[in-house]
């Protein structure tokens, strides 16, 4: 079996990736804290410092780089600082460290997990992701880049935080939530095909308005929050749509937003 190294292997997407890779590949995960799965080789390390990267890549044929650092995603909401700065130690600097060591280790394929619609990034976090894509494209290592729309768990976390407000603002935006398990199937399929450059974008099975997404969330989560529609300037609406909606020719998942909500307890 080939060895596949996964960064971000303890996250929502990472856990789905690891579960699908096992049995077909030797799976190795670079993480700051080891998991409990005995079928996985856990390598202690940190992309932000470079610790453990060389050891994790030694003998690996494929690298799936799914690690990322978004403070807004972690907390479930934006603060003003997110509009002018975002950490670079994982998404940009950590990617460069990975690529340098992967080239030295003779890795044959790096597959990077990215985000739909970041070619004209409006916030610093998306610029970090785009910078990482540039580094990968310039690397001598054969590569693939897989972009996805927003994940169900992230939209759930964000709406849960918003629901704590006295009145929930609902901007005039569209969203296309996708399940990490659907996207993980696509990524693992792409590992089997080998390096393919920019892959088809991957989106959810449906496009919803933000208000529709919140209404479904409120019904399934038994919320009774007051809401208020918030019109946006066309430039802001277009920017939001570009970051959220896949092209019609993209690949799409099967699990809808409502189906995911019914099968997952509130996080």
pLDDT in tens, 35-86: 889 999 999 999 999 999 999 999 999 999 999 999 999 998 888 898 899 9
Q: How many CB atoms lie within 10 A of CB 206?
A: 16
Q: How confident is the model at residue 96 (pLDDT cuts 50, 70, 90)?
A: very high
The per-residue pLDDT for 173 is 87
Give the count of domains, the chain. 1
In angstroms, rounded to a whole number, what is the distance separating the alpha carbons of residues 53 and 157? 31
* Cross-strand pairs, 169: 228
Please determine, for residue 225, whether its predicted confidence score (pLDDT) is greater than 50: yes
Phi and psi (nearest 5°) for 254?
A: -110, -25
* Residue linked to tokens 């494929």: 62
Q: Which whole-number Å values give the CA distances from 166 to 160, 223, 231, 237, in the listed order?
A: 13, 12, 19, 24
Domain that holds residue 99: 3-263
Kind and range of the H or E element at 199? none
The per-residue pLDDT for 233 is 54
* Residue linked to tokens 């704590």: 164
Instruction: Taking the CA atoms of 19, 23, 28 and 33 in sequence, report the sign of the dihedral they define.
Output: positive
In angstroms, rounded to a whole number, what is the distance separating the alpha carbons of residues 17 and 186? 10
In angstroms, rounded to a whole number, what is the distance separating the alpha carbons of residues 160 and 249? 32
Q: Which whole-number Å values give the CA distances from 178 to 39, 125, 155, 170, 175, in the listed order?
A: 27, 20, 10, 20, 10
Q: What is the CATH number of the domain that holds 174?
A: 3.40.50.720
The answer to whether 230 touches 211, Cβ cutoff 8 Å, is no
Distance separating the N- and C-terminal Cα atoms of the chain: 36
The answer to whether 107 touches 57, Cβ cutoff 8 Å, is yes
The answer to whether 101 touches 45, Cβ cutoff 8 Å, is no
Q: How confident is the model at residue 241 (pLDDT cuts 50, 70, 90)?
A: very low
| pTM passes above 0.85 | yes
Q: What is the DSSP string of 70-98?
A: -HHHHHTS--GGGGT----TTTTHHHHHH
Encode pLDDT of 192-205 as tens digits. Answer: 999 999 999 999 99
In angstroms, rounded to a whole number, what is the distance separating the alpha carbons of residues 109 and 195? 6
Give residue 22's Cα distance to chain centre.
20
Please determine, for residue 149, whether its predicted confidence score (pLDDT) is greater than 70: yes
**22 CB contacts (<8 Å, ≥6 apart)?**
39, 40
Classify each residue of 169-181 as buried b or exposed e, where b means 16 or more C-beta atoms within 10 Å of its C-beta. Answer: ebebbebbbbbbb
């Amino acid at each position: 079996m080939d060895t596949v190294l996964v960064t971000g292997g303890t996250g929502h997407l990472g856990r789905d990736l690891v579960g699908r890779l096992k049995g077909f590949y030797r799976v190795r995960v670079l993480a700051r804290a080891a998991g409990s799965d005995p079928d996985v080789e856990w390598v202690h390390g940190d992309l932000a410092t470079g610790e453990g990267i060389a050891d994790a890549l030694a003998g690996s044929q494929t690298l799936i780089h799914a690690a990322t650092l978004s403070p807004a995603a972690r907390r479930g909401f934006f603060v003003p600082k997110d509009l002018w700065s975002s950490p670079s130690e994982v998404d940009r600097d950590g990617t460069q460290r990975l690529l340098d060591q992967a080239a030295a280790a003779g890795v044959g394929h790096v597959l990077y997990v990215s985000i739909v619609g970041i070619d004209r990034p409006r916030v610093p976090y998306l610029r970090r992701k785009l910078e990482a894509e540039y580094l990968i494209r310039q690397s001598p290592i054969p590569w693939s880049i897989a972009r996805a729309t927003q994940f169900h768990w992230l939209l759930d976390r964000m709406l849960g935080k918003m629901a704590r407000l006295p009145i929930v603002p609902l901007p005039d935006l569209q969203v296309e939530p996708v399940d990490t398990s659907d996207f993980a199937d696509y990524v693992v399929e792409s590992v089997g095909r080998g390096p393919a450059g920019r892959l088809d974008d991957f989106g959810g099975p449906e496009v919803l308005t933000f208000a529709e997404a919140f209404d479904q969330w409120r019904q399934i989560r038994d919320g009774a929050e007051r809401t208020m529609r918030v019109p946006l300037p066309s430039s802001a609406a277009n920017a939001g749509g570009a970051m959220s909606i896949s092209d019609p020719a993209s690949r799409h998942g099967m699990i809808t937003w409502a189906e995911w909500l019914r099968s997952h307890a509130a996080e």
